[in-house]
Chain A
Amino acid sequence: MTSIQAEFSKLKRSASIVIVFLLPVVSVVAGTTSTLMAEGGLEEGWHTLWVRAIGFYGMLELPVGVAILASLVWRVEHKNNWNALMNTKISTRQVVLGKIVVVGVLAAVMQVVMLAVVTALGMTLGLPGTVPVQYVWASLIVMLAGFPLAAWQSALSSWSRAFAPPVAIALTLAGLSVGALLVAGRAAIVSPYALLTHATQFGSLLSGGGRTSFPPAFLTLDGIGVVVVTSLTVTVLIWLAHSAVLDRADIRS
């Protein structure tokens, strides 16, 4: 637990806070503007707003956001703290877990911000009531599904001393995973990128048939169960593998 707390105290004055708030705002506003301009506008109210907001966000911006967060979190270690990080009695697994949790939680907060921005936007546009509860559930699933990607990007960022390569890898693999989702459907979620994108599709089916580019995910026991189990399994596997690799490798500095 202590290494997790320690990771959070490193966030003070960190640029990651800016990312967490800025990215969803920009993404939601950009994603919905064209719809608002178009004829018909928010035909199905909150549902249309959500589908337009989540589409691009789940496909690219959220995965890339997680990559940026992981690079930011590791950057302070690469500067001059690797030796110190590896030179305490705290085990490598604890150190790696601390990073996964802090990136995962930041990504989860980003989803909360995204939900808040959609809610605020909908209310500003005069939509009745508030955001439907199914999107709150969907957001909870997204928050969980962010952890495997947090673990994976954290591993990449621990190896790359430079900031950009892990983000570029995220951009590429997120793109490929979108393709995999379209071709292979739910089987593609063994890729953490595809899993996260898939998770953003929960409840995103409009009654008029309008949707994002993906086969929608349904808030059923099966639909949720698969994502939960995959998220937990993949996170733990990456965590253990990353720790084992770090424990065997010579430190590079």
Chain B
Amino acid sequence: MNFAIQTSDLTKRYGDRVVVDRIDLAVPVGSVYGFLGPNGSGKSTTMKMLLSLVRPSSGDATVLGRPMNRQTRRDILGEVGSLIESPPGYHHLTGAENMRLIQRLLGLDTRQIEQAVRTVRLQDQLDKRVAAYSLGMKQRLGIAMALARQPRLLILDEPTNGLDPAGVEEMRDLLRRLAASGITVLVSSHQLGEIDKCATSIGILSRGRLIFQGSRDQLLAQVTPDVVIECSEVPLAAELLRQQVTARQEGHVVRVRGADSAGVADAVARLVHAGIHIFEVRREGQTLENMFLRLTEGRGL
């Protein structure tokens, strides 16, 4: 497989503090890669290293097939659009003036600018000063500025931050459209639901370490969902099951963790044998949110 971004042992330390810990990122060409993790897990620092805004303490990154470092960065950046942390844009200028600035700076033609603006649907807001833009509009302007150069790779840091639900949906739609046009997108978020539905690949960062990387399906398959048993004598049932599996009482039900089909059959047999009445046994639908809570050890996203 071809990768737009590959890192090996990428690490950033500030003094004794390891912010990014030996991560091996692999972002396939043409994918929307959801880069997920709690706030402070090292996502922004990783992205800055991918752009060589921050130098790795050790390890290296290959971007669009070339090693990314201080010597090569300006060359590679001609093909990379990015939005890191707060959206860029000169607040005292209008949207149109900001776009003209980028056009002049990068030697782009008007068609490229217009296309970028249309892609983020900002064409009717261009005459306003950026200071008067909503956060969502600023994000879109930032993305238009990144898109105007027609990049092969787009790196977006929390582009849904501070957006309302409609704005988030619009951003998802935008990411899908970008991917459909062949651009590889690396997009970070600390809120899972905002990105996972349009991501084709997912990487999860927790305390600087990449604890999962793969497709959405692989992620779902990685953790077996809980089984919930409704029965009589719940405390006794829970105690019985605990001898064999991870189980706990949760209100009027017993929750069993990590049991496969045989394990469930076994648990049921054991309860029936003990004379406990079973009313319902169901496996919970797996949500990504649950999985994240588990993978990140309850720190949430």
Contact = CB atoms under 8 A, between A and B. Distances in A.
Contact of A83 (B75, B88, B100, B149): B88
Contacts of B55: 250
B86 interface: yes
B105 A12 contact: no
A5 B106 contact: no
Contacts of A3: 105
B78 A89 contact: yes
Interface string B66-94: 00001000110110101011111111110
A12 B92 CA distance: 8
Interface stretch (B2-10, B31-39, B46-54, B267-275): B46-54
B93 A12 contact: yes
Nearest to A248: B70
Contact of B105 (A79, A90, A251): A90
B178 interface: no
A32 to B, nearest CB: 35
Contact of A10 (B74, B84, B93): B93
A86 B78 CA distance: 12
A53 B180 CA distance: 66
B107 A87 contact: no
A86 B74 CA distance: 9
Contacts of A248: 70
Interface in A1-33: 2-3, 5-6, 9-10, 12-14
B116 interface: no
A80 B142 CA distance: 11
A79 B91 contact: yes
Of B75, B88, B105, most A-chain CB atoms within 10 Å: B105
Contact of A6 (B51, B75, B85, B105): B105
B25 interface: no
Given A84-B88, A87-B51, A250-B55, A9 B104 contact: yes
A3 B107 CA distance: 10
B106 A251 contact: no
Contacts of A89: 74-75, 77-78, 106
Given A12-B92, A76-B92, A91-B74, A250 B53 contact: yes
A87 B53 contact: yes
A90 B53 contact: no
Contact of B104 (A6, A13, A76): A6
A233 interface: no
Contacts of A79: 91
B114 interface: no
B84 A88 contact: no
Given A9-B101, A247-B70, A248-B70, A88 B77 contact: yes
Contacts of B87: 80
A2 B54 contact: no
B53 A14 contact: no
A131 B85 CA distance: 54
Interface of B: 48, 51, 53-55, 70, 74-75, 77-78, 80, 82, 84-93, 97, 100-101, 104-107, 142, 145, 149
Given A9-B93, A13-B92, A83-B82, 17 more contacts: A3-B105, A6-B101, A9-B97, A14-B92, A80-B85, A81-B89, A87-B77, A87-B82, A88-B74, A88-B106, A89-B75, A89-B77, A92-B74, A250-B53, A250-B55, A251-B53, A253-B85
15 contacts: A9-B101, A9-B104, A10-B101, A13-B92, A80-B87, A83-B53, A83-B82, A83-B88, A87-B77, A88-B77, A88-B106, A248-B70, A250-B53, A251-B48, A253-B84
